[in-house]
A and B are shown apart, each in its own frame.
Chain A
Amino acid sequence: MTAANPAAPRRARPLPDRTILLILTFLVTSGLLLLSHNGPLLERLGALGTVLRNPIVEAVVVSLFLANVLFAYLWRAAPWAKALVGLGSLLLVLPWAGREDTSLLDLSIQIMIFAALALGLNIVVGLAGLLDLGYVAFFAVGAYTWGIFASPRFAEILRYYGENPGGTNALTLALGLFLTAVTAASMVYIRRQTVRPTRASSWSFGLASFGLIAGLLLTGRALLVLNAGAAAGLATGIDPNFFWLFLALSVFAAAVVGVLIGLPVLRLKGDYLAIITLGLGEVIRVLANNLDLYSAGSQGITPIRSASVPWFDGLAGALGFQPDQYYLLFLYVLVLVLIAVILLVNIRLDRSRIGRAWIAIRDDEVAAQAMGVPLVQTKLIAFATGASFAGAMGMIFAAKQTFVSPESFNIFQSIGVLSMVILGGMGSFPGVILGAAVVTLLNLRILPGLGEATANVPWIPQQVNPGQLQRLVFGAILVAIMLLRPEGLLPNRRRVLELHHDENQEDDSAQGAGPALTGGGGDVYSPGYATREEDESAGTTGRGTRGTR
């Protein structure tokens, strides 16, 4: 932590106390939000109502309101004021306004889903330094886990297996279970036996894993056939009370897929890893698109149920929500709780042994290994943790949309989440959440709002209507923010130090280079760059020796 010293004087000046300002903005923006989402009231307001109903104004009001929470985090103010503004905004004002306009609840859930995804990806990319471009695959796993079972799809799958039982009966089930048990046991045994993995042991381990997959498939198939009779009773999916079980299952399934994808590819680095993860993400999307029986192909699965929580429905009813909005309020609260949990897990992990191991790996893999950090294990934990957050969010997404289709899981979603992470500030939790909020607001509210508002303006041609320019505006914002603030909107303190390391140097030798060096003069003293170079050369030779043996 010696590196923290040079930057210390910069943060020495305390910020002014802004308690009153904070409360004031909270009151004003909350009032505006409540007003602008109250249809009947707007009718009576006349001209002001028309202004407030303008899509641009509405988008601005929503953004300002959400900025409150950010201010509560950023500004120096009394703790009670911070808590009041934060909790009041999220638990009171937002659901209240959402009662009149459910699209607001929908938007908030979407923002929080992306925030959780970004937090998950932040672990993989920001902390462990593994560039994952196929992150949305885990999101898809979660969404389909719930989507298949909580919709008529499951009954159709059972019906199909009832009609095409193959040679499956109790004996096959026994065979499948036997195969699963034997291969799993042998895998555990091999792992225990070999201190240093030999060629034979890794081959037999690989063979056993194939056996395990075969066993699981057989078992699953046999179970499906044996339960085919239940199809009629499941016409609208399984009982919604299973929601909680499936929440755990989605987390688990996504984590398992994360490990499965991570296991073969974690030996690769940097861009190789990026393209492989991108590819595997695509594999999952194409499978979802083509395995018609399970995923209904490109039509998507619908309708998907949400959980059934009678007391919560009662509460929502008492608060004046319509019965068809109960599930939105429920999901809103659920996702709020989950974000809190995820944030807590993140903060705890960041300060734990594992978190420091991740950062060590990110900064210098070889040095970390030399210090005794188990590389594969640590990276796999990062992959699995990130994936499990995505799994939980995928399930909530499916329940919110009541519809999943492969379209929601394309590569642009992965790239979008990655841009949230980097835009907000890699490795910084509040930054990542801010990034998610900014990008989602931009894509779902501000740009469509602009498009809607200018749709009928005669002097703007249809081709350059902002509603059609989403990519351009989004791209321009990405480029601009990266050029102006390469460390992100709310950077991680450590990262800022790394990026501005040369500026903080006591001696100015970095600036004293000749003309040929001015272009890349900072390189020499930039630890990020130096580490990367060492990393690569050392890493490739390491790979070479491992590959040849």
Chain B
Amino acid sequence: MDLATLLPFIVNVIVGGLVLGFVYAIIALGYTMVYGVLQLINFAHSEVFVTGAVVGFEVFRVLAPNPMNGYLKLLIALVAAMIVSGLLNVLIERLAYRPLRNAPKLVPLITALGVSLILQDVLRIIEGFQGRFDLTYTLPPGFAGRFCAAESSCAGLGNFLRTIGVDLQLKDVILIVVSLLSLAVLNYLVNRTRLGKAIRAVAQDRVTAGLMGIDANRMISATFLIGGALGGISGVLFGMKFGTVNAYSGFDPGIISFTAAVLGGIGSIPGAVLGGLVLGVIQNLIGVTNVFGGLLGIANLEAIDASYQRIGAFIVLVLILIFKPTGLLGKSNVEKV
């Protein structure tokens, strides 16, 4: 491989990493919002996110014979996943975390693990009754195709990407756009609305916020609803990106996303996004280390393949946390959520 082909290759790897990173970023937001308000690692979030993916799968499956516009199907899938995941998250909070509000921190952590195990099996059973385990997405026609397939229809950004040799599928572009849109909405919600103000107040000090007339329990429910809805969106996007999900496939992205949230500084929304993007890119780069190893003739690098992706993420996390123990964007007096 010479430089002329290597450069677009690297650019593609990085862009692919960013696409992956957006999925992680949105999942990480679900973790970070809950953490910001309750200081709880919501281990059940990975299952909430898989629930979103399953709902998305069902919507696409049911609507597949319908000749309606692909984007409309996507919208329906997203909204359905948001509603189901959001409500599920609220329910989990109500049943498993709220009764333990005053217990030591590790107790809700264990119920979170328990809920996560329960949800995995419930999802498996529900889909199992229809004889399914691995759910393969039936995307609307064209979604899996190349972004800017015909040269004539390409304009602006599409043309630019084409010239620098970036090869994106349409679903990747959709993924980025949806992620950015939900980020913008979340940002507006948290920073500009009364609800957001109240959530931030509860995150800072639950008792004082209560004294100011804020119903902390309602705000926590609202946070779980928002976090769950984000989980739903990310589930659908994840399903579209990877094609298949099953009841147990939430664990890996869940852990990586939580790592992303910690990497960015847990409790910080921009931190979660940054962490997700950084981890996505790093993972993709580690996935092709063997190519670089082959280029440079270093046998040890060649042996590093995609199975090292996850530990790469963790090693980066360790290194960053050693030098900056509060994460990339965490401040010592963090403004949570």
Q: Which residues of A are interface residues toward B (Cβ below 8 A)?
A: 125, 131, 264-265, 267-268, 270-272, 274-276, 278-280, 282-283, 286-287, 289-290, 411, 415, 418-419, 422-423, 426, 461, 463-464, 468-472, 474-479, 482-483, 486, 498-499, 516-517, 519-520, 522-524, 526, 528-529, 532, 536-537, 540-541, 543-544, 547
The 7 closest A-B pairs by CB, nearest first: A279-B314, A475-B117, A478-B114, A544-B332, A472-B121, A475-B118, A479-B114
Interface check B152, CB cutoff 8 A:
no
Contact B326 A516, beta carbon cutoff 8 Å: no
Bound CA–CA A468/B119 (angstroms): 14
Interface check B96, CB cutoff 8 A:
yes
Nearest-neighbor residue (CB-CB) of B217 within chain A: A519
Contact A271 B35, beta carbon cutoff 8 Å: yes
Interface check B110, CB cutoff 8 A:
yes
Bound CA–CA A274/B113 (angstroms): 14
Bound CA–CA A470/B258 (angstroms): 26
Contact A540 B333, beta carbon cutoff 8 Å: yes
Name the B residues within 8 Å of A286 (CB-CB). Answer: 307-308, 310-311
* Known contacts A265-B321, A478-B111; A131 and B332 CB within 8 A of each other: no
Contact among A283, A478, A522 for B314, CB-based, below 8 A: A283
Interface check B50, CB cutoff 8 A:
no
Name the B residues within 8 Å of A470 (CB-CB). Answer: 121
Name the A residues within 8 Å of B327 (CB-CB). Answer: 272
Contact B334 A540, beta carbon cutoff 8 Å: yes
Contact A283 B110, beta carbon cutoff 8 Å: no
Nearest-neighbor residue (CB-CB) of B96 within chain A: A479
Name the A residues within 8 Å of B124 (CB-CB). Answer: 463
User: Separation in Å of the A354 CB from the closest CB of chain B?
Assistant: 22
Bound CA–CA A265/B303 (angstroms): 28
Interface members, chain B 104-152 (any A CB < 8 Å): 104-111, 113-122, 124-125, 128-129
Contact among B118, B259, B314, B322 for A472, CB-based, below 8 A: B118
Name the B residues within 8 Å of A519 (CB-CB). Answer: 101, 210, 215-217
Bound CA–CA A419/B116 (angstroms): 13
Interface check B197, CB cutoff 8 A:
no
Name the B residues within 8 Å of A520 (CB-CB). Answer: 101-102, 206-207, 210, 216
Name the B residues within 8 Å of A479 (CB-CB). Answer: 96, 111, 114-115, 118
Name the A residues within 8 Å of B308 (CB-CB). Answer: 286, 290
Contact A290 B41, beta carbon cutoff 8 Å: no
Given contacts A276-B317, A411-B255, A464-B125, 14 further A-B contacts (CB under 8 A): A131-B109, A272-B327, A279-B317, A280-B314, A286-B310, A426-B106, A475-B115, A475-B117, A478-B114, A479-B111, A520-B216, A532-B104, A541-B332, A543-B326
* Known contacts A475-B113, A482-B111; A271 and B262 CB within 8 A of each other: yes
Interface check B99, CB cutoff 8 A:
yes
Bound CA–CA A547/B321 (angstroms): 10
Name the B residues within 8 Å of A423 (CB-CB). Answer: 110
Nearest-neighbor residue (CB-CB) of A516 within chain B: B210
Bound CA–CA A423/B125 (angstroms): 27
Contact A471 B259, beta carbon cutoff 8 Å: no
Bound CA–CA A501/B237 (angstroms): 47
Contact A276 B318, beta carbon cutoff 8 Å: yes
- Chain B 313-337, CB-CB to A under 8 Å as 1, else 0, gives 1110110011111110000111000
Max chain A Cβ within 10 angstroms of own Cβ: one of B211, B310, B332: B332
Interface check B103, CB cutoff 8 A:
yes
Interface members, chain B 155-193 (any A CB < 8 Å): none
Name the B residues within 8 Å of A474 (CB-CB). Answer: 114, 117
Bound CA–CA A468/B35 (angstroms): 32
Contact A532 B105, beta carbon cutoff 8 Å: yes
Contact B310 A482, beta carbon cutoff 8 Å: no
User: Dominant SS at the B interface?
Assistant: helix
Name the B residues within 8 Å of A482 (CB-CB). Answer: 100, 103, 107-108, 110-111, 114
Bound CA–CA A272/B324 (angstroms): 11
Name the A residues within 8 Å of B116 (CB-CB). Answer: 475
Nearest-neighbor residue (CB-CB) of A526 within chain B: B102
Contact among A422, A463, A522 for B110, CB-based, below 8 A: A422
Name the B residues within 8 Å of A418 (CB-CB). Answer: 110
Contact among B100, B318, B324 for A483, CB-based, below 8 A: B100
Interface check B266, CB cutoff 8 A:
yes
* Known contacts A271-B35, A271-B266, A290-B307; A282 and B314 CB within 8 A of each other: yes
Bound CA–CA A274/B40 (angstroms): 12
User: Separation in Å of the A295 CB from the closest CB of chain B?
Assistant: 13
Max chain A Cβ within 10 angstroms of own Cβ: one of B115, B121, B206: B121
User: Separation in Å of the A527 CB from the closest CB of chain B?
Assistant: 10
Interface check B213, CB cutoff 8 A:
yes
Bound CA–CA A498/B110 (angstroms): 19
Nearest-neighbor residue (CB-CB) of A528 within chain B: B104
Bound CA–CA A275/B316 (angstroms): 12
Contact B213 A131, beta carbon cutoff 8 Å: no
Contact A283 B311, beta carbon cutoff 8 Å: yes
* Known contacts A419-B110, A475-B113, A540-B334; A283 and B315 CB within 8 A of each other: yes
Contact B125 A547, beta carbon cutoff 8 Å: no
Contact among A422, A472, A486, A516 for B211, CB-based, below 8 A: A516
Name the B residues within 8 Å of A469 (CB-CB). Answer: 121, 125
Name the A residues within 8 Å of B334 (CB-CB). Answer: 540
Nearest-neighbor residue (CB-CB) of A271 within chain B: B41
User: Separation in Å of the B246 CB from the closest CB of chain A?
Assistant: 13
Bound CA–CA A426/B124 (angstroms): 32
Name the A residues within 8 Å of B113 (CB-CB). Answer: 415, 419, 475, 478
* Known contacts A469-B121, A516-B210, A519-B210; A540 and B100 CB within 8 A of each other: no
Name the A residues within 8 Å of B315 (CB-CB). Answer: 279, 283
Bound CA–CA A116/B113 (angstroms): 22
Name the A residues within 8 Å of B210 (CB-CB). Answer: 516-517, 519-520
Name the A residues within 8 Å of B111 (CB-CB). Answer: 478-479, 482-483
Name the B residues within 8 Å of A276 (CB-CB). Answer: 314, 317-318, 321
Nearest-neighbor residue (CB-CB) of A126 within chain B: B106
Bound CA–CA A523/B101 (angstroms): 9
Name the A residues within 8 Å of B217 (CB-CB). Answer: 519
Q: List 8 A-B contacts (CB under 8 A).
A: A272-B266, A272-B321, A283-B311, A470-B121, A474-B114, A482-B103, A519-B101, A547-B323
Name the B residues within 8 Å of A537 (CB-CB). Answer: 333
Contact among A278, A483, A544 for B255, CB-based, below 8 A: A278
Bound CA–CA A463/B325 (angstroms): 46
Contact among A426, A463, A536 for B128, CB-based, below 8 A: A463
Contact B114 A541, beta carbon cutoff 8 Å: no
Contact B100 A486, beta carbon cutoff 8 Å: yes
User: Separation in Å of the B196 CB from the closest CB of chain A?
Assistant: 20
Contact B213 A516, beta carbon cutoff 8 Å: yes
* Known contacts A516-B213, A520-B101, A520-B102; A547 and B324 CB within 8 A of each other: yes
User: Separation in Å of the B206 CB from the closest CB of chain A?
Assistant: 5
Contact A280 B318, beta carbon cutoff 8 Å: yes
Nearest-neighbor residue (CB-CB) of B304 within chain A: A290
Bound CA–CA A118/B187 (angstroms): 43
Bound CA–CA A419/B111 (angstroms): 10
Name the A residues within 8 Å of B207 (CB-CB). Answer: 517, 520, 523-524
Bound CA–CA A463/B125 (angstroms): 6
